[in-house]
Structure 1
Amino acid sequence: MTQNLIEPAITPRTRAKARHILDHYYIGPARDSSALEIWGYTPEMSYAPGDRVALHVSTTAAEWDLEIGRDGLTYHPLLTVTGLPGVHHPTPEDCSVKGCGWPEAHAFTIPEEWVPGGYLITFRARSGQDLVEEHHIILVRSAPDASPPPYVLVCATGTWLAYNCWGGSNHYEGITGPNGNAFSPVLSTQRPWTRGFCRLPEGAPRALREQPARPGEMVRYPYMEWAYAYGYSKKYASAGWATYERHFARWAEGEGYALDVIALHDLHRDPGLLDQYACAVFVGHDEYWSAEMRDAVDAYVDGGGNVARFAGNFLWQTRIEDEGRTQVCYKYIADQDPLMGTDREHLVSGAFDIPPVGRPGALTFGVNALSGVYAGLGNCVGGGAGGFTIYRPNHWVFRGAGVGYGDVLGARSRIFGYEVDGLDYRFEDGLPFPTCADGAVPEIEILAMGLATNIEADHGTWGETLYIGTADAAFNAQVLFGEVTPETLDACMRGNGLIISWHRGKGEIFTAATCEWVAGLIRRDSQVEQITRNVLNKLGKGQA
């Protein structure tokens, strides 16, 4: 959700002489045939065995090499091609909005023996002693005639796309948005993923610091500092295979769980795709969904499907246009969406919770994003526990995890943040219950809770620049109360993040509403791992 407040404003008039500043905004082509580079993309995000995959590649090298391998518990190359002829293609200035338009450079057919997973594509180019390497990811699901596994991991490709800064713009900032210096409400899928979305070095910092800042110490953002130092997108910690889904897929494979892997965009195109699975799994930062994607999940659960959501920030409604090649989200300027004022304004690309969309996230996953949002990022609950306080330890979710009432789950592994979803709630006899004033229903059980905020604390530390500040709270105040005043800002300051369980229709939903649940799996937090097993076993195999 993060709005970007610390970069200087850049106008079209100053853009040419401020190119060195823009380099920190985005990753993109050098547009200089003397600079060694290689980039590539595929027309689709996901494929099945037997599908043909076209690679659209631009490089300044005379030749380039290709390597593809399954990015699972172990990695080894499955396909290598060397000595491919290199061609440098012009890239439009507005490629992030309209696509790169590069021609096909190479193609291959996915072999029948490739098992489901994320497949890392490595492009390599050389010039003398110099070598550059860039990456792409494709998702491979089971063959249509194969028996599907019980689980399907639905990758948050709507959010990947929203944060993808390759070429100049995303849904947060850029050079091709309104007036040339703001976010773009329109994004193309026909471009490479930005550096860090597909592959990361070991030790790349996560969005949450491993330890809270000391009192009086200037707030730091190690992941952004690392990205600037090593030439990665600063958005790598917010979205992408390498930061989120990869870690869950590797952990599940090590535990013996068989997963299909698909793109969220697949649900937009094929709403019945989930019906063949016992449990749909969502992980990480999963913020951007079309109405059709939500409809697919709602119908799946009502019909008896189960959902395990280890993800946070279910916030924005998008539209998928141009046969899947374009994603639209007007977000903070939803009043400028062309659908506003029409008979289709329920499809306006704004926040789910508020008119004209008016479809709170709690109706699908049991929690609302605007009841979150920030925890552990900067001075937003910067000194918080980093985990969930347990309120209903006897629930089946916690069986064997060794937690009791009042214990904090995941504090050592820092699972709570950086964005979380919650509900309006009340306490009775030391237990939280949904008030149902925000789209929630009484059947939702609140199992655990942590605190979040929309306003970053200002401790008056000399030299400190706040990243979040008050911008998100001001947006909430404007849309919820119609004006931004000290009183409405205060009303929008406090939030929470929840773990909930809910029987809905013929199905069942578990939600741990945090982006960073996977941190507990990466750091082998035994309690987080046991709860993850409990959820998968119950929802995927019918075992309590």
Structure 2
Amino acid sequence: MGALGIGAVAVAGYQLRGEAESADIQRPEASTGKNPVVDENTATGSQEWVAGHDGTVAANDKAAQIQGYASTTSAGPGESIDFHLWSHTAQACTVAIYRLGHYGGQGARHLVTSDPVDVEARTRPEADAATGLIACDWPVSWTLEIPETWVSGLHLAVFTSDDGFRSYTPFVIREPKRRSDVLMVIPFTTYQAYNMWPSDGRIGKNLYKGFTPDGKIGGNPERAFQVSFDRPYAHVGLPSWFEMDTSAVRWAEEAGYDVTYASSVDLHEGLLDASRYTAIIFSGHDEYWSKDMRDWAEEAVAAGTHLAFFGSNNIYFHIRVEASGDDRQSRVVTCYKQDEDPDPGAGGATERWRTIGKKHRQAEQGLLGVQYNGMPAQPVPLVVRESKHWFWAGTGLRDDDQIPDLIAVEADGFDDSMPRPENAEQTLLSESPYSDRMGRGRRIQNTSLCQDGAGTLVFVAGTFHWPLALSAPEHVNTQIQRATTNLMTKMLTGRSS
């Protein structure tokens, strides 16, 4: 599925749910005493950002009609973000900023549009011969000064050329000084790991593959060991599986949770105090983690902050997040995987977490309770277990009931040979058989909930389709909505400081 089709349809089609449903939702009361997200979502929404509106056409990598990237994955009120653009011909272009949310079913709100800025064709960089790194050095086209009044959220910069082409890049507005019930973390390190810009049949690479000399997509021999944030996202500019995150965002904001946002790079840089949040949601495909990110999450649990992973294949690869060639921090993601890492550093080699050290001591299951175990050949049902658990209350589900097509793309399961969370009681809420499309035979998917002695919860959905079931029109499932609401209610009950 292409990024444009999924991302655009997911937001543009959101009005199918209708405002009648929204009116019946009981807003959870914020323990912090204030919740600007509710007021923010009363603002007028807009779908004008979608390629096709006003006759615009989605840009592509080969022609590169209009593309750009941001100078950072996140910034706060009072800070600024630079946008670096190129166009296939010298012309005027605009940058419009939209905040994603519910907004009465519209899915986004227009905040500001730049004056026309002059953009020229730029030089497309070649990949570094040793690492495969592709990094642009395009000049700044426009700078966004973030108003103090803007509410934390997932945002899109929308680039539109004078000759009618359009592309995007996402970023987060954070509010690290504001205590909120929920922090939602957007997986920018994983976005970049899968970014194959430019997907032009020649130059593009990501941490999985690149192009062969005859223009076909290759594999490990062609892949990069380093990828840069200093480049657009491939195709129209929406990252791989961006729809998992936008669906979770719209669900949380429609429900009225007191939520602030951060990028995964913010966790790496230590910009956030986990104790300021009652629960932390990892909204999508969150596969690539540095040691600093994992340390931060483990410290959050130790301090009593709940974690909820709405996707699967979490914390799978260990990475380094490094400076650019001109010493701008956190602009490069490094992962050598099965190849020898020339500079492992204190955190160890950049390989699978479960292979670092002896006896699988760093396996992700030690924090999560489950871990990636395969790729379903086709979507299969989630098979319910422990239906009397509070998690499934109000869903009407019983053991062995099936939720159609919920297990898809990648799946997690419990592995008895791997570490498990210490001093924690684990409940496996599903037991879903599937056939692995990579030829690894029959596998079992598990949705997991762990609770330690202090009552702190770590939830892992264990499938890509869980966040889509929260609000994406073609995937919405009321039983998953109810179960996830039960989870959030449990996490947000009883803690006020």
**TM class, shorter-length:** 0.7 to 0.9
Q: Deviations over 1:40-78 (max 9, x none)?
A: 111111111111111111222321112111122233321
Whether the 8 Å contact between 2:371 and 2:414 is mirrored in structure 1 is: yes
- Please give the alpha-carbon distance, in whole angstroms, between the structure 2 residues aligned to 1:525 and 1:288: 28
Q: Indicate the SS of the match to 1:448.
A: coil
1 CA distance for matches of 2:277 and 2:78?
A: 21
Ranges in structure 1 where 5+ consecutive residues have no aligned partner: 1-26, 199-235, 425-434, 457-467, 474-492
SS of corresponding position for 1:169: coil
Q: 1:393 and 2:387 equivalent?
A: yes
Matched with 2:364 is 361
Distance 1:355 1:65, change over 3 A: closer
CA distance in 2, matches of 1:363, 1:197: 35
Contact 1:363 1:439 in 2 (8 A): yes
Amino acid at match of 1:527: Q
Equivalent residues of 1:163, 1:171 under 8 A apart: yes
State the alpha-carbon separation in 2 of the partners of residues 519 and 57 from structure 1: 31
How far does residue 392 in structure 1 lie from its aligned partner after superposition?
0.8
Q: Matches of residues 213-228 of structure 1 in structure 2 within 5 Å?
A: none
Match of residue 40, structure 1, among 68, 75, 98: 68
Residue type of the alignment partner of 2:418:
D
- Does 1:338 find its partner at 2:354? no
What is the identity, as a one-letter code, of the residue corresponding to 2:256?
G
Name the counterpart of 2:185.
Answer: 154
Work out whether residues 275 and 305 of structure 1, in 8 Å CA contact, stay in contact via their aligned partners in 2: yes
Paired position in structure 2 for 1:80: 113
- Normalising by the residue count of structure 1, what TM-score does the alignment of the two structures yield? 0.70
Tell me the distance in 1 between the aligned counterparts of 2:228 and 2:357: 25
| Residue 141 of structure 1: aligned partner | 174
Report how far residue 181 of structure 1 moved: 5.5
Query: Counterpart amino acid of 1:188?
Result: S
State the shift of 1:402 in Å: 1.0
Q: 1:63 to 1:362 in 2, by over 3 A?
A: same
Amino acid at match of 2:304: G
Q: Does structure 2 retain, via aligned residues, the 8 Å contact 1:319–1:327?
A: yes
Partner amino acid, structure 2, of 1:158: T
Q: 2:158, 2:166 within 8 Å by CA — same for their partners in 1?
A: yes
1:238-283 superposed Cα distances (whole Å, 9 cap, x missing partner): x343x21111111111111122111111111016532211000012
Contact 1:348 1:356 in 2 (8 A): no
Would you say how many aligned residue pairs link Structure 1 and Structure 2?
406
Residue in 2 that maps onto 1:536: 488
- Of residues 498-507 and 110-119 in structure 1, the stretch that sits farther from structure 2 once superposed is 498-507
Equivalents in 2 of 1:97, 1:257: separation in Å? 39
Q: CA deviation digits over 1:286-330, x for unaligned, max 9?
A: 211112111100010011110111110122111111121111111
The match for 2:222 among 182, 187, 208 is: 182
- C-alpha displacement at 1:197, in angstroms? 5.3
Aligned partners of 1:509, 1:180: CA distance in 2, in Å?
A: 34
AA matched with 1:246: T
Following the alignment from structure 1 to structure 2, what is the Cα–Cα distance between the partners of residues 140 and 498? Answer: 34
Residue 384 of structure 2 contacts residue 429 of structure 2 at CA under 8 Å; is this kept in 1? yes
Q: Could you tell me whether the CA contact under 8 Å between 1:285 and 1:312 is conserved in 2?
A: yes
- Paired letter, 2:371: N
- Residues 175 and 181 of structure 1 are in contact (CA less than 8 Å); yes or no, is this contact kept in structure 2? no
CA distance in 2, matches of 1:61, 1:300: 49
Match of 2:418 in 1: 438
Answer yes or no: is the 8 Å Cα contact 2:167–2:236 preserved in 1. Answer: no
- How far apart are residue 451 of structure 1 and its match? 2.1
Q: CA deviation at 1:444?
A: 1.8
C-alpha contact 1:61 1:126 (8 A) present in aligned 2? no
What corresponds to 1:244 in structure 2? 244
Give 2:149's aligned residue: 113
Q: Is the 8 A contact 2:366 2:419 kept in 1?
A: yes
User: Paired residue for 2:433?
Assistant: 451
Q: What code does the residue aligned with 1:312 have? A: S
Instruction: Kindly provide the amino acid, as one letter, of the partner of residue 348 in structure 2.
Output: L
1-structure distance, mates of 2:310, 2:448: 11
For 2:235, the aligned partner's letter is: R
Which residue of the partner structure matches residue 92 of structure 2?
Answer: 63
Q: Is the 8 A contact 2:309 2:459 kept in 1?
A: yes
Task: Specify the code of the residue in structure 1 equivalent to 2:226.
Answer: V
Cα 1:356–1:440 change in 2 (3 A) is same
State the AA in 1 paired with 2:420. A
1:509 aligns with 2:461: no
Deviation at 1:182, TM superposition (A): 1.4
Gaps of 5+ in 2: 1-58, 199-203, 324-328
Q: Is the contact made by 1:353 and 1:368 (CA closer than 8 Å) also made in structure 2?
A: no
Contact 1:267–1:273, Cα closer than 8 Å, also in 2: no
1:303–1:505 Cα contact (<8 Å) kept: no
Choose which of 221, 232, 240 in structure 2 pairs with 1:192.
232
2:450 is the counterpart of 1:498: no
Percent of residue pairs bearing the same amino acid type: 25
Q: Distance in 2 between matches of 1:29 and 1:64?
A: 17
Q: What displacement does 1:98 show?
A: 4.1
2:82 corresponds to 1:54: yes
Alignment partner of 1:404 out of 394, 398, 401: 398
Paired AA for residue 440 in structure 1: R
Letter of the aligned partner of 1:245 in structure 2? D
Q: What is the match of residue 18 of structure 2?
A: none
TM-aligned CA distance change 1:445 to 1:134, over 3 Å? same
Q: How does 1:417-496 map to 2 (within 5 A)?
A: 417-424=408-415, 435=416, 437-441=417-421, 443-454=425-436, 456=437, 468=438, 470=439, 473=440, 493-496=441-444
User: Cα deviation per residue 1:145-179 (whole Å; 9 max; x = unaligned)?
Assistant: 4x332011111112111111112010111149999
8 A Cα contact 2:184 2:262, kept in partner = yes
Contact (CA 8 Å) 1:124, 1:134: kept in 2 or not?
Answer: yes
| Cα-to-partner distance string for 1:338-394 (whole Å, 9 max, x where unaligned) | 146xx74x521111112447311111111122xx2112xxxx2x3x6x232222111
Q: CA RMSD in A?
A: 2.5
Verify the 8 A CA contact 1:390 1:448 in the aligned structure 2.
yes
User: Per-residue displacement from partner, 1:111-132 (whole Å, max 9, x unpaired)?
Assistant: 11211211111111124xxx11
Q: Distance in 2 between matches of 1:355 and 1:106?
A: 43
Distance 1:319 1:67, change over 3 A: same
- Cα distance change, pair 308–92 in 1 and its aligned pair in 2 (3 A): same
The letter of the residue matching 1:296 is W
1:318-333 alignment runs, 5 A limit:
318-322=319-323, 323-333=329-339
Letter in 2 for 1:393: S
Are 1:46 and 1:139, in contact at CA under 8 Å, matched by a contact in 2?
Answer: yes
